Amino acid sequence: MSIATRQGDDGTTGLLYGQRVPKDHPQIEAVGAFDELNVALGAVKPLLQPAVARDAEIAALLLAVQKNLVALMGELACAEADVARYAASKFEKIVPADLARIDAALAALEARGLRFDGWATPGANARAAAFDTARVVARRCERRLSALPAHGRSVRPELREFVNRLSDLLWLLAREAEQ
């Protein structure tokens, strides 16, 4: 089986349960933005040193978030008519425990007493820049996600909460990397 199915040669792509939409459909734009975020988080990982305890914690957190992003993309990749079908499926979904993990990581970073004055100027080092890149992609994801209801696609509040908190977490991780 080839990855090149040629079904998209006409400018359409398939949603999860078979419906086809234009490749610039708002849902596809949102899924694409989250895919970019997943890649941006992956780009941070080679900058970590697994033998360092804090880096191992960050790597585990990033892996969990990447798995959440795959679940989130799956949820966004179904038509509004299939939302109930998806909800009843065995596919992974963002759940309150995922939000709690992000909240705990935020609280732990804030408890470290990170220093920052005003708005950050990214680029102090490669690791901080990678986290800031992921953060701005997360904010784009948030904008794409927030636009979906205006196009007839409902969005569970947990998804909006997850990406909003994730972008805050990435901002703090960038500030930590600067210090």
The yes-or-no verdict on residue 169 having pLDDT over 80 is: yes
Q: Is residue 171 part of a domain?
A: yes
Q: What's the Cα-to-Cα distance from 48 to each of 9, 35, 141, 166, rounded to whole Å?
A: 39, 21, 24, 19
Q: Is residue 9 part of a domain?
A: no
The overall longest dimension of the chain from CA atoms, in Å, is: 54
User: Structural domain tally of the chain?
Assistant: 1
Q: Which long-range contacts (CB under 8 A, 24 or more apart) does 92-95 make?
A: 92/67, 94/68, 94/156, 94/158, 94/159, 94/162, 95/158
The yes-or-no verdict on residue 125 having pLDDT over 90 is: yes
Domain span at 77: 20-111+121-178
Q: Is residue 14 part of a domain?
A: no
**Tokens representing residue 91 in the block:** 């596919």
pLDDT in tens, 68-121: 999 999 999 999 999 999 999 999 999 999 999 999 999 999 998 877 777 778
Domain CATH for 79: 1.20.1200.10
pLDDT at residue number 116: 73
What DSSP assignment string belongs to 115-151? Answer: ---SS--S-SSHHHHHHHHHHHHHHHHHHHHHHGGGG
Q: Is residue 46 part of a domain?
A: yes
Q: Is residue 165 part of a domain?
A: yes
pLDDT in tens, 140-157: 999 999 999 999 999 999
Cα(66)–Cα(49) distance, integer angstroms: 18
pLDDT at residue number 115: 73
Task: Report which of 65, 71, 78 is spatially closest to residue 37, judged by C-alpha positions.
Answer: 65
Contacts of 115 (CB under 8 A, 6+ apart): 175, 179
Share of the chain above pLDDT 70, in %: 99
pLDDT at residue number 71: 97
For residues 113-136, average pLDDT? 88
- Is the pTM here over 0.85, yes or no? yes
